[in-house]
Structure 1
Amino acid sequence: MRAVLLAGIAAMGFAPAIAEAQDRPDQKAFFSLYKELVETNTVVGVGSCTKAAAQIAARLKAAGYADSDITQFSVPEHPDDGGVVAILKGSDAKAKPMLLLAHIDVVAAKREDWKRDPFKLVEENGFYYARGTVDDKAMASVWADAMIRFKQQGYHPRRTIKMALTCGEETTYAFNGAQWLTDNRPDLVSGEFGLNEGGGGRFDANGKPEALAVQVGEKAAQNFTFLATNPGGHSSAPTPDNAIYELDDALRAVQGYEFPAKFTDTSRAFFAATARVAPAPVADAINRLLADPQDRAANAIIGRDKVLHSMLRTTCVATLVNAGHAENALPQRATANVNCRIFPGETVEGTLAKLKELAGPKVTVTANQPIRPLAVPPQLDPKIIGPMKTVAAKYFPGVPMVPMLLTGATDAVFFGKIGMPVYGVPGILVEQDLNGVHGLDERIRVSALYRGRDYLFDLVKAYGG
């Protein structure tokens, strides 16, 4: 899930001299790649990531990559959930590789719900509309385009540059390409560090950048099933015991519960930076909460911003319900999925215990499989953060860069077991409403996409040497 979550940072200005969109030949080539990827349906179980990966592989080969530099992968049980890894070899064997990571699967989108066809790229009023325009085909396209340009320009990095475009990030129960690579082919993706979704930045309401963000930690995503059962019977003779009502009572208890506010080192640094530039009431509330996370009045003020509210705690929300078996029968079974984003340092087991307490004795609660690993927060390594700030001075002069705890979850969680830190990279800014990611009419500001592309291209070269 690509969601850039910044709030309360003062607006700053862009440098107007940099070309914004489709003016240069290389930008037109990028748009062709981006459009093809966006318009290739990669909803798990509906479209084909394997097809999209093959299209990228074909472009890489056309740019001059040898077959030995490209690995297309899938498994027999999931032939449409494949991905692609490409490697640009470095000149210094002692320099550890870097990884460019992105997922190419997308959340489902129903045509009848959208104003436009979700799988046709449309440009309107300075925005590109379609499913995946942000999450995560913007970054996937930027990485693939960068690898192609490196080869075309004869760029020979000191450090080996790897790229992995994978499937399954958006669907918990699906085959996950990032997990498969770290389990089965760590040699293809291992390196000193990785760059991934999860950072970026945010515009203010007037389209000016508020801040750049580098993600150095994330919450854990975990689904839970709530189940109420009842013998049922004829609907003409209702009884007080009703599976739907019992499930509803449990979900309302979850809705009414707020997990306590907490800070990590990253989120504390983020809120401290926010307090320095936020309006007085918000700044005061942040400072009070930093001093005392149990300050209810301060928490209420900060919690008016849904992103800041989520960044402070574990959150759990009902996302799916299913109940009953006939319109003229009392329900025998009612189920709901509750999606939780667990704060770093807390556990699936602890969250399950709280949900069971909230649900009460009439509703059973279980943790859904698979239970994904908890993210290992990377360090704020100056060797990583320094180039981000240096290159940003060219493309985003005067715009502050802040560390951020991602309220969502990404495929970075699978790289802890191979000892590889993964950072959510800054550069591609989104709107205050998060651009419709995972919702209706997903979109990205055209200028933000092209400026972010230029920034990330130069950033990778800064790391590559």
Structure 2
Amino acid sequence: MKRIKRALAGTAGTAGTLVLAASLAAPALAQPAASAPALAPDVAAFRALYQEMIETDTSITTGSCTLLAYKIEAHLRGAGFGDAEIYRFAVPEAPKEGGIVVTLAGTSKTLKPMLLLGHLDVVVAKREDWTRDPYKLIEENGYFYGRGTADMKAMDAIWVDMLARFRKEGTKLPRTIKLALTCGEETSTAFNGARWLTQNKPELIAAEFALNEGGGGRTDGKGSVVVQNLHVGEKVVANFRIEATNPGGHSSAPVRDNAIYELSDAMVKLRDFDFPVMLNDTTRTFFSQAGKARGGELGKAMEAIAANPGDKAAEALLNTDKSFHSMLRTTCVATLVSAGHANNALPQRATANVNCRIFPGVAIEDVRKELERVIADPRMTVALADDRGPPGTPPPLDPKIVGPAQTIAAKYYPKAPLVPFMSTGATDGIYLSAIGIPSYGPPGVIGDPDGNGTHGLNERISVQGVYTARTMLTELVKAYATGK
């Protein structure tokens, strides 16, 4: 095997070498289970790649993105990519959080490159909480189960498989295609590879536009796709530390002035508070068009809120759908708590992390002040806990992006209109927009209304949906790569 070319913060480094040395004998790609239906050879190869990605733990606690980046590199080298086309990276302080950038040169000297972006890391999954092993790809009842099946290793596998097939088949496209698979998207305190690339190697990922997660489609929960989405904007993420402090004392002489009780009261107030409804061009178009396509009582409510954000009856009905509720406003929710220091002592400190997803255009400081107002307790402090990065800039609804997406989405899902969509989550696209690369989430991968266990238990994704997305996204990338 040729000497692996690697980069550690831009230079060959010992940390990356240690991880690589531990994995030189990487196993061959796992094969589908014997009970799986017969697949065409190219689909079987894709499934095997997808399985290996799922079964390589890339969580922040027990996994390694660097190891998976090495496996992806080996796969692409097997397809014919060489040293000059592959760049792997990590930094000494986070040797397991590395990534990879791959370039497939185009034939045009005038078209700017396009970038395919994906994150390799996944949210931590505890085996004892799951029905199935989270780090095994299990196919059951028409779904793939496993951590990362939906967020976002299906798209990662599609990107890698696509470039490998283009190289093997000798596909010549006018526009250069770049692929960047990074770590750190799921953990705000981790090394973020996308951010590092924009700050240290912007020329390596320079592109006219990027395709990223956040788009896809949505079913009615019964298997029928009702809408396809083009992701054209996202919320801003901010974590706030809510803290109560107290002198404490002996637990044998309790008093009402208790830090845990104070924090609990504050969290109940936040639970019962909703930020006001807000709409922008993207969400107004989404609710109007998707509502018209959906029909029924919920569809009418979507159209009504698009026409009049003050329609309380429509808002109340839409609030029963958690994704619509979030899309309509800034949201803040408690995600972590810590309190006390001994079993037999009154707590001296109680803290909670409140994770906010802030509607575009709303200042982080304004949200912090609103939390203070809602809590309304001068004994509590509310402070920004981290820096998630720059606020995302919604990309334009460029006809060169929207047109091919509409055409190809209609070919595969003719009854599901393509509508612009603002993600209620957050992606690494914010780092791209900060250096002038608009990021779009294309249609393709589909999800159910319940969220498919993403970031939760028993994450899953439709088997047929993944295979259809592979074909659909390949066709879409080819369309963009022609520059037409």
Task: Please indicate the TM-score interval, normalised by the length of the shorter structure.
Answer: over 0.9
Matches within 5 A, 1:106-117: 106-117=122-133
Given candidates 359, 362, 375, the residue that maps to 2:379 is: 362
2:317 to 301, 323, 327: 301
Match for 1:222 among 210, 227, 238?
238
Quickly say closer, same or farther: Cα 1:22–1:218, change in 2 above 3 A.
farther
**2:94 is aligned with 1:82:** no
1:420 aligns with 2:417: no
Query: What code does the residue aligned with 1:306 have?
Result: K
Q: Which residue of 2 aligns with 1:94?
A: 110
Identify the residue that residue 418 of structure 2 maps to in structure 1. 401
Structure 2 counterpart of 1:399, which letter? A
Paired with 2:37 and 2:328, the residues of 1 have a C-alpha distance of 37
Which deviations, in whole Å up to 9, do the C-alpha atoms of 1:179-200 show, x marking residues without a partner?
0001110111111100000000
Q: State the TM-score, normalizing by the size of structure 1.
A: 0.94
Q: Could you tell me which amino acid in structure 2 is paired with residue 262 of structure 1?
A: M
Q: Tell me whether 1:37 sits opposite 2:53 in the alignment.
A: yes
The SS at the match of 1:325 is: coil
Q: CA deviation at 1:295?
A: 3.0
Which amino acid is 2:203 matched to?
D
Matching residue of 1:344: 360
Distance between the aligned counterparts of 1:92 and 1:267, measured in 2?
A: 36
- Partners of 1:247 and 1:205 lie apart in 2 by 37
- The corresponding residue for 2:72 is 56
AA partner of residue 368 (structure 1): A
Cα offset, 1:283, TM superposition: 4.2
Residue identity over aligned pairs, in percent, reads: 53
Counterpart position of 1:151: 167
Residue pairs, 1:157-168, within 5 angstroms: 157-168=173-184
Q: How far apart are 1:430 and its partner, in Å?
A: 1.1
Is residue 213 of structure 1 aligned with residue 229 of structure 2? yes
CA contact (8 A) 1:324 1:333 kept: yes
CA spacing shift, 1:139–1:454, aligned 2, 3 Å: same
2:395 — aligned with what? 378
Is residue 445 of structure 1 aligned with residue 445 of structure 2? no
One-letter amino acid of the counterpart of residue 253, structure 2: A
Runs of 4+ with >4 A deviation: none
Q: Name the counterpart of 2:453.
A: 436
Distance 2:37 2:293 in 1: 31
CA contact (8 A) 1:21 1:27 kept: no
The Cα of 1:93 is off from its aligned counterpart by 1.6
CA distance in 2, matches of 1:338, 1:204: 31
For residue 156 of structure 1, report the CA deviation from its aligned partner: 1.3
1:169 is paired with a residue whose SS is coil
Shift of 1:275: 3.0
2:213 aligned with 1:197: yes
Higher mean displacement: 75-84 or 245-254: 245-254
Residue 444 of structure 1: how far off its partner (Å)? 1.1
Secondary structure at 1:236 match in 2: coil
**Whole-angstrom CA distance in 2 between matches of 1:276 and 1:350:** 34
Gaps of 5+ in 2: 1-35
Segments of structure 1 that go 5 or more residues without pairing to the other structure are 1-19
Q: What is the correspondence of 1:272-291 to structure 2 with a 5 Å cutoff?
A: 272-291=288-307
278 and 446 in structure 1: CA distance in 2 versus 1, 3 angstrom threshold: closer
Q: Aligned partners of 2:302 and 2:212: how far apart in 1?
A: 29
The offset of 1:358, in angstroms, is: 1.9
- For 2:303 and 2:406, the matched residues in 1 are separated by 26
In structure 2, C-alpha distance between the alignment counterparts of 1:374 and 1:188, rounded to whole Å: 23
Q: Which moved more, 1:368-377 or 1:334-343?
A: 368-377
Matches of 2:88 and 2:480 in 1, distance apart?
25
Measured against aligned partners, the alpha-carbon deviations of 1:89-122 in whole angstroms (never above 9, x if no partner) come to: 0111210000000101000000000111110111
Amino acid at match of 1:379: P
Counterpart for residue 17 of structure 1: none
Q: Work out the CA distance in 1 between the residues paired with 2:414 and 2:313.
A: 36
**Residue 124 in 1 paired to residue 140 in 2?**
yes
SS of residue matched to 2:446: coil
Q: Could you give the per-residue CA deviations for residues 408-453 of structure 1, whole angstroms, max 9, x where no partner exists?
A: 1000000122111000111011122111100101111110000000
Distance 1:289 1:441, change over 3 A: same
Query: 1:284: how far off?
Result: 4.2
Q: Which moved more, 1:278-287 or 1:294-303?
A: 278-287
* Distance apart, 1:287 and its partner CA: 4.1
**CA positional deviation for 1:300:** 1.0
TM-score, structure 2 normalization: 0.90
Q: 1:440 and 1:280, CA in 2 relative to 1: closer, same or farther beyond 3 A?
A: closer
CA RMSD, Structure 1 to Structure 2 (Å): 1.4
Tell me the secondary structure at the aligned position of residue 356 of structure 2.
strand
Aligned residues: 446
Q: Is the 8 A contact 1:105 1:169 kept in 2?
A: yes
- Cα distance in 2 between the residues matched to 1:282 and 1:438: 26
Q: 1:172 aligns to what SS in structure 2? A: coil
The CA deviation string for residues 290-319 of structure 1, in whole angstroms up to 9 with x for no partner, is 343233232112211111111000000001
Which secondary structure state, in structure 1, belongs to the residue aligned with residue 50 of structure 2? helix
Higher relative contact order (CA 8 A, sep 6+): 1
The aligned amino acid for 2:176 is T
What SS does structure 2 have at the residue aligned with 1:338?
strand
Q: Equivalents in 1 of 2:291, 2:83: separation in Å?
A: 52
